[in-house]
Chain A
Amino acid sequence: MPAVKETIDQVKEIDLEKYKYGFETDIKSDKAPKGLSEDIVRFISAKKDEPEWMLEWRLDAYKRWLTMDEPDWAKLDYPKIDFNDIYFYSAPKSTPGPKSLDEVDPDLLETYKKLGIPLSEQAVLAGVEGAKIAVDAVFDSVSVVTTFREELAKSGIIFCSISEAIKEHPDLIKKYLGSVVPVTDNYYSTLNCAVFTDGSFVYIPKGVRCPMELSTYFRINEKNTGQFERTLIIAEEDTYVSYLEGCTAPMRDENQLHAAVVELVALENAEIKYSTVQNWYPGNKEGVGGIYNFVTKRGDCRGDNSKISWTQVETGSAITWKYPSCILRGDGSRGEFYSIAISNGYQQIDSGTKMIHLGKNTSSKVIAKGIAAGFSDNTYRGLISAHKKAKNARNFTQCDSLLIGDKCGAHTIPYIEAKNSSVIFEHEATTSKISDEQMFYCQQRGLNEEEAVALIVNGFVRDVLQHLPMEFMVETQKLINISLEGSVG
């Protein structure tokens, strides 16, 4: 057998087990008892030392959740989740809440170092390009540290964990939490309202352009732990902020649940750019383990001429159920969704966006690139709707799917609703395969099969890649290559 074939077979052998972030950190943790009940909700709230109104809000959500049913409309197939077999709260014992860097457990810092996340402000400041990124690091259920807070505070920006914001900025929380994604929006978001543990909070005051990228890094470490993070970003009039989100988890045989809610509010002339690189553990090559990722992300372009742009790179998770959306309420507001969704092994993705045009002269753009390999299933599901009053609403949607091999599936499910006649909605969709001719051509020039696939896929996603912040682009290209390892042959 030729040497290269052999190498490819070896790579296939390790396949998804090569998941780069699959180490676990041995840290004592402080956990709530397994399962879900009113007491657990009270426990979480008490652990966080929350005010009474917050507890009431959670308990109300919990009661409503009990009356709801798990949605089954997505093209996903998984056994019923036993919510009593999950820990809803886990915190590293040494770090019950955010601290300054010197107080953070060195083991934790080491973990983030391994992940390539700079938590030391010095290290970032010493960086060659001087590109600063402020980071909020969330480990299991709690935020362990937020960097660059003081520097941001100088321009009036608040960047902290949501737990802190609940205590320090109750007026903002009361005004905005649940104002974009209502408590009873859907099964998982309602669950999140009851048991969310931590996440990030960002507030950009009027007239401020955030001087650096803000970023949150989520890591699930504990076994059988659910992660329910909650992120809220408020951009006042005439502001700009770019926010990055990254996620990883160790390799586990059991499935872990992740059900986040992200709410964005953009007031007049504000722009929010939200980028995600999601690389939760996808399960092994037989499809055992991996994260169930049920996420509700929504942005509200509340003010005129505001803009919200979602860019996502989805490579991880056993199951992804996620539709970052924009409510285009303000006149002239704009929504964008750029997505790269890669599935390999037995991963299942049902993802897309909703662009809800309510205001006049609103526009939206959707570019979604789905890549399916192995035995995976990759569905784009998108809704574009225009209200009666949304005169001259415009949308352009382009959905491209690329299949690698013949055991995977790609599907495009667009929903379009136009309630007035002045709208222009355009939709283009393509499905293609990497052809044998393309593979042979690349190989004739010296690229091996894996390199050839990676190059062709990178070309396929180029239109989306260029919307990522520079710092993320190179990382993402590498991630794409890793995610597709073992996809050929």
Chain B
Amino acid sequence: MLEIRDLHVSVEDKEILKGVNLVIPKGEIHAIMGRNGSGKSTLSYVMAGKSGYEITKGEIILDGVNILDMEPNERASAGLFLAFQYPIEIPGVATMTFLKAAMNAQRKARGEEELSTPDFMREVKQAAKMLEIDNKMLKRALNVGFSGGEKKRAEILQMALLKPKMCVFDETDSGLDIDALRIVSQGVNALRDANRSMLVITHYQRLLNYIIPDVVHVFSNGKIVKSGDKSLALELEEKGYAQYDESAA
């Protein structure tokens, strides 16, 4: 379970998150929608522990532990996964090599044994098949020269292998064609689990037809201004964000 309590975050003395409160119980999927620049990516980065943000107030609690004091890799090993809006290129490092390094690093951090190569290969093949990722891509350097859609698929592949407890998707649907959207959504749905929570950041109601959220939150000017069930997404699509502008100010 994830709990964010009264989170305030500034960058260079400019307050970007202005008191975020959010609870995602185990097994639930929540969606966040909101204007460009309202602070959604910032929230996901702060959850994952990226440096450069000043947390002036608040807590982020994952399964009873305040993770704000933890390094990004410790949070990852504790089960937090962020699918990036813009995945990063790692030249010269084959996707396969990266996957193995990440899985073993997390296992090591949790005091588990390293995966044997056959076990690793089996898991990768299985996950890659589900996401319709071919072998050639696994041999290429991670994200280098990948198309937008391939990058997003590679993110979900990593998530499928790392089996996190808390998944955050930052605009995973943007840049995907219709088929890719279906494949990625299937991948995400396959990971739906009673012990796993998910937070889906998106601009489009369309994604939520595939990944059906339990709760939809509207994000405006650095905080959640309204929450509701999935029909809220439809309403937003119809009426836009204007009704929420400054409504909380």
Contacts and interface: CB of A to CB of B under 8 A. Distances in A.
A446 B106 contact: yes
A93 interface: no
A461 interface: yes
Nearest to A432: B91
A440 B105 contact: no
B93 A448 contact: no
30 contacts: A3-B71, A435-B88, A440-B48, A440-B50, A440-B72, A440-B88, A442-B90, A443-B49, A443-B73, A443-B76, A444-B49, A444-B72, A444-B82, A445-B76, A445-B105, A447-B101, A447-B102, A448-B71, A448-B105, A449-B71, A455-B90, A455-B93, A455-B97, A455-B98, A456-B93, A459-B90, A459-B92, A459-B93, A459-B141, A462-B93
A191 B63 CA distance: 68
B87 interface: yes
State the 10 A-B residue pairs at the shortest beta-carbon distance, nearest first.
A459-B92, A459-B93, A446-B106, A443-B72, A445-B102, A441-B88, A462-B92, A446-B76, A446-B105, A443-B73
A2 to B, nearest CB: 5
A128 interface: no
Nearest to A448: B73
Nearest to A8: B71
A2 B71 contact: yes
Interface string B65-88: 000011111111100011010011
Given A438-B89, A446-B102, 11 more contacts: A5-B71, A435-B88, A440-B51, A443-B49, A443-B71, A444-B75, A448-B73, A449-B71, A455-B101, A459-B91, A459-B93
Interface of A: 2-5, 435-438, 440-449, 451-452, 455-456, 458-463
Contacts of A2: 69-71, 74
B17 interface: no
Contacts of B52: 436
A459 B88 CA distance: 14
B218 interface: no
Given A455-B98, A456-B93, A459-B141, A445 B71 contact: no
B224 interface: no
B88 A437 contact: yes
Contact of B84 (A4, A441, A455, A458): A441
Contacts of B221: none
A438 B97 CA distance: 16
B197 interface: no
B23 interface: no
Q: Among A443, A449, A458, A463, which residue has the most Cβ atoms of chain B within 10 A? A: A443
Given A436-B51, A440-B50, A459-B141, A447 B92 contact: no
A85 B69 CA distance: 53
Contact of A461 (B48, B84, B92, B141): B92
A456 B97 CA distance: 11
A458 B92 contact: yes
Contact of A446 (B50, B73, B87, B91): B73
A442 B90 CA distance: 9
A444 B88 CA distance: 11
Nearest to A456: B90
Interface in B99-146: 101-103, 105-106, 109, 141
A159 to B, nearest CB: 36
A489 to B, nearest CB: 11
Given A440-B51, A455-B98, A447 B73 contact: yes
Interface of B: 48-52, 69-77, 81-82, 84, 87-93, 97-98, 101-103, 105-106, 109, 141, 158, 162
A446 B162 contact: yes
A3 B89 CA distance: 28
Nearest to A5: B71
Nearest to A4: B71
B9 to A, nearest CB: 16
Nearest to A454: B101
A96 B178 CA distance: 77
Contacts of A451: 101, 105
Contacts of B141: 459
A436 B51 CA distance: 9
A436 B90 CA distance: 12
Contacts of A456: 90, 93
A117 B80 CA distance: 43
Nearest to A451: B105
A435 B48 CA distance: 17
A440 B84 CA distance: 11
Q: Among B52, B70, B73, B77, which residue has the most Cβ atoms of chain A within 10 A? A: B73
B74 A3 contact: yes
A455 B101 CA distance: 8
Contacts of A455: 90, 93, 97-98, 101
Contacts of A448: 71, 73, 105, 109
B73 A460 contact: no
Given A446-B109, A451-B101, A441 B87 contact: yes
B228 to A, nearest CB: 30
A112 B13 CA distance: 59
Contacts of A458: 92-93
A463 B93 CA distance: 11
A461 B52 CA distance: 29
Contact of B105 (A3, A5, A438, A447): A447
B102 A4 contact: no
A100 B102 CA distance: 48
Contacts of A435: 88
A460 B91 CA distance: 7
A417 to B, nearest CB: 32
Contacts of B92: 458-463
Nearest to B70: A2
A169 B87 CA distance: 62
Nearest to B107: A446
A444 B76 contact: yes
A440 B109 CA distance: 17
A355 B209 CA distance: 63
A441 B87 CA distance: 8
B108 to A, nearest CB: 9
A153 B73 CA distance: 55
A463 B141 CA distance: 12
Contacts of B91: 459-460
Contacts of B77: 446
